[in-house]
């Protein structure tokens, strides 16, 4: 697990430790690697640069089956980010590592199957495998959207705890941009239900963050994160 660094405020350090403690209690202990030190991330960054030039400098990337969280060297560890990324670790545990990876990357994960076209050397119809190249386009990614809605709901809970109005038009627009922008490879196009799902998630986040006894649909993990961070921040006040 990463450790808080000297550039953090006292409040941030306490919140960071609180999130880390909840993660460890759930047996989530990913390795923390700076993206610039990973050839894998450098390769991903090279391919993603035309679409997401900030991939290496702004985005934290978690690969659950590698049990690794890749963080930008230019950014200090953020307890809000760690709370978000820990949800992906839980999703992979819940759905299975391979299933999670394939669903999160679908349909783009089908693109590498185009290599099967090499089989045309022996059987010409294998050239049809080149059709899989179309999967590399920014098609809507239903499962990626679902996974990120769950993770960004936790991000919103953390933001609500520190006083952000997660139900404001500005915050809702900020959230919607995650799904329709290039940062996540345009994982949603014109899904008419997306704005409603985002609003529902933000109302949920506000309620969980501001009601100590809220039980509703909140998961035990979400509640533990919420109470741990709130107690840490109140202790620093």
236: left (phi over 0), alpha (psi -120 to 50) or beta: alpha
Decide if 44 is inside a domain: yes
Please tell me the total count of domains within the chain: 1
Concatenate the DSSP letters of all residues of 54-106 into one string.
TTTTT--EEEGGGTEEEE-TTS---HHHHHHHHHHHHHHHHH-HHHHHHHHHT
pLDDT tens digits for range 122-165: 888 888 999 999 999 999 999 999 999 999 999 999 999 999 99
Residue 230 lies in a domain: yes
Range of the domain at 207: 10-106+141-236
CA distance 82 to 32: 11
205 located within any domain: yes
Distance from C-alpha of 29 to C-alpha of 213, rounded to nearest angstrom: 28
CA atoms of 52 and 181, how far apart (whole Å): 9
Instruction: Say if 129 falls within a structural domain.
Output: no
CB-hemisphere CA count at 13 Å for 112?
Answer: 4
211 inside domain: yes
pLDDT tens, 27-64?
999 999 999 999 999 999 998 999 899 999 989 999 99
pTM above 0.75, yes or no: yes
CB-count exposure of residue 22 (10 Å: 0-12, 13-18, 19+): buried
Residue 127 covered by a domain: no
């Amino acid at each position: 697990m990463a450790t808080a660094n000297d550039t953090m405020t006292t409040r941030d350090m306490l919140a960071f430790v609180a999130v880390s403690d909840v993660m460890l209690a759930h047996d989530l202990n990913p390795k923390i690697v700076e993206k610039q030190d990973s050839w894998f991330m450098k390769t991903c960054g090279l391919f993603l640069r035309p679409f997401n030039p900030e991939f290496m400098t702004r985005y934290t990337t978690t690969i659950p089956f590698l049990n690794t969280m890749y963080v930008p060297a230019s950014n200090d560890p953020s307890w809000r980010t760690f709370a978000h990324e820990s949800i992906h670790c839980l999703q992979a545990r819940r759905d299975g590592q391979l299933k999670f990876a394939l669903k999160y990357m679908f349909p783009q994960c089908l693109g590498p199957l185009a290599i099967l076209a090499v089989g045309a050397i022996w059987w010409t119809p294998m050239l049809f495998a080149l059709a899989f190249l179309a999967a590399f386009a920014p098609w809507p990614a239903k499962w990626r959207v679902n996974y990120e809605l769950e993770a960004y709901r936790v991000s919103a809970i953390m933001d609500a705890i520190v006083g952000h109005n997660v139900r404001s038009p500005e915050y809702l627009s900020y959230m919607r941009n995650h799904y329709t922008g290039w940062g996540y490879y345009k994982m949603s196009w014109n899904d008419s239900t997306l704005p409603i799902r985002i609003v529902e998630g933000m109302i949920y986040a506000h309620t969980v963050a501001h009601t100590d006894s809220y039980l509703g649909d909140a998961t035990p993990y979400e509640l533990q994160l919420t109470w741990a961070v709130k107690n840490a921040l109140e202790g620093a006040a």
